[in-house]
Amino acid sequence: MRSVEAETKEALVSPIDSLAIIGRGLVGSMFVERFTALEGLKVLAAGRGEIASVMEQQPEVVLAATPNPVGEVAAELAARAIAPFSLVLPQNGVGVIEQAQRALGRSDISLIRASLYTMVSQSDNGVAYDPAKLRLTLSPGRHQDRRELSRVRLALMSAGFAVVTCENPRDMEWTKLLVNSIGSTSTVTGLTPRETFVDENLFSLELTGLRQRSAVIRAGGIKLVNIPWAKTPLLRLGASVLPSYVPGALKQLIAETVAEGRDNLPSAAARKITEGREPSEALEYHLPFIQLAKETGLTATVDEAIVEVIQQHLRGEIHLQEMTSRQKTDLLTLVLRNGGSLPRK
């Protein structure tokens, strides 16, 4: 898989004249903040219910910072569009381009797939992120979208993002999914990356999960993209050569590496659970591995265990926010040993 070296902006001037950003969540707010600083760029910020009024102004590019699935948003954008535009899709998950294509029902809209590698969180003043770590990958949704990708790439670079372009959106999506899965036991345990990877039991679960997912990806004919800040070569190495017993010093090094890339924060889903909110995106990180494992005849037992615990929580049968980290770790281990299901009383 060919990738282009990460690039950064040189001037605060946008190569496009108008941009609509749909979505008023943390990611949408971060994009609005970055793009409104550019000279000569008309930025139209809108919530999900304001699509009609925004599309009347005929934006050149629409960035849909809305949750996955994207079908309904894409269909409404297409229905309300007066003129062709480029649609940028930065959602987590896989199969996003295919969803959008089915929903659009027209061929004059360019599709650009994006994967964001920036930690965005809530702060007292609004949205918080590290301007030095504005990073994403881009891929054309289809072959005919390559030219438009170049303009979108330049606009993002002007807004301060480091950008890597990829040839294949499927490979790019699955690479991000694998990166997101590192440390994902924290969705259940609520622990930080540093705490996760120095814990002997959790380290073993994480390593098993990485090996299973890597095997499923290979069997599915997916090629990992080389993303500098995601350290994808190390993921390959870890999945193939790390021994079953890893010395403490090496565990500590891995813990520090992962913690640095995540600002040592638990997963977004874990933070939502702690706040009493629904961890909607948690299943999107694990169900694709389970499905692909079934299709390829392999196993994804760690993902199945995480999904089982999360589903029990969503059904109200357990309450993760009321449990200690040790209780949650023991529960996850129990589910894994029980073949991916919670023992019934």
What is the model's pLDDT at position 44? 98
What is the model's pLDDT at position 338? 86
Beta bridge partners of 22: 46, 64
Phi, psi of 316 (to 5 degrees): 80, 10
Residues 117 and 223 in one domain: no
Amino acid code (one letter) for 240? S
Task: Assess if residue 232 is contained within a domain.
Answer: yes
Residues 181 and 129 in one domain: no
Task: Assess if residue 5 is contained within a domain.
Answer: no
Task: Assess if residue 343 is contained within a domain.
Answer: no
Residues 44 and 123 in one domain: yes
pLDDT in tens, 91-123: 999 999 999 999 998 889 999 999 999 989 888
Tokens standing for residue 295? 């299709």
What is the model's pLDDT at position 4? 37
Which residues, other chains included, contact 264 with Cβ-Cβ below 8 Å and sequence gap of 6+? Answer: 192, 193, 194
From the CA atom positions of the chain, what is the Rg in Å? 20
Beta bridge partners of 229: none
Distance, CA of 130 to CA of 120 (rounded, Å)? 8
Distance, CA of 299 to CA of 228 (rounded, Å)? 29
Tokens standing for residue 336? 């894994």
What is the model's pLDDT at position 343? 60
Task: Assess if residue 259 is contained within a domain.
Answer: yes
Task: Assess if residue 342 is contained within a domain.
Answer: no
Task: Assess if residue 11 is contained within a domain.
Answer: no
Tokens standing for residue 127? 């949205």
pLDDT in tens, 232-290: 766 776 666 665 666 677 777 777 777 777 778 888 889 889 988 888 778 989 999 99
Residues 148 and 190 in one domain: no
How many domains are there within the chain?
A: 2
Amino acid code (one letter) for 36? T
- For residue 300, count other CB atoms closer than 10 A to its CB: 25
Identify which of 281, 279, 324, 331 has the alpha carbon closest to the alpha carbon of residue 305.
331
Kindly report whether the peptide bond that precedes residue 69 is cis, defined as omega within 30 degrees of 0: yes
Residues 130 and 186 in one domain: no
Task: Assess if residue 123 is contained within a domain.
Answer: yes
Distance, CA of 170 to CA of 95 (rounded, Å)? 7
Tokens standing for residue 294? 């079934």
This model's pTM is above 0.75 = yes
174 near 148, Cβ under 8 Å?
no
Residues 111 and 257 in one domain: no
Distance, CA of 149 to CA of 111 (rounded, Å)? 8
What is the model's pLDDT at position 125? 80
Residuewise pLDDT in 10s, the chain (345 residues): 434 334 444 446 678 999 999 999 999 999 999 999 998 899 999 999 999 999 999 999 999 999 888 999 999 999 999 999 999 999 999 999 999 999 998 889 999 999 999 989 888 888 999 999 999 999 999 999 999 999 999 999 999 999 999 999 999 999 999 999 989 999 999 999 999 988 889 988 999 999 999 999 999 999 999 998 887 766 776 666 665 666 677 777 777 777 777 778 888 889 889 988 888 778 989 999 999 999 999 999 999 999 999 999 999 999 999 999 999 999 999 999 887 666 655
What is the model's pLDDT at position 245? 63
Strands 86-89 and 121-123: unpaired
Domain of residue 31: give its range: 18-167
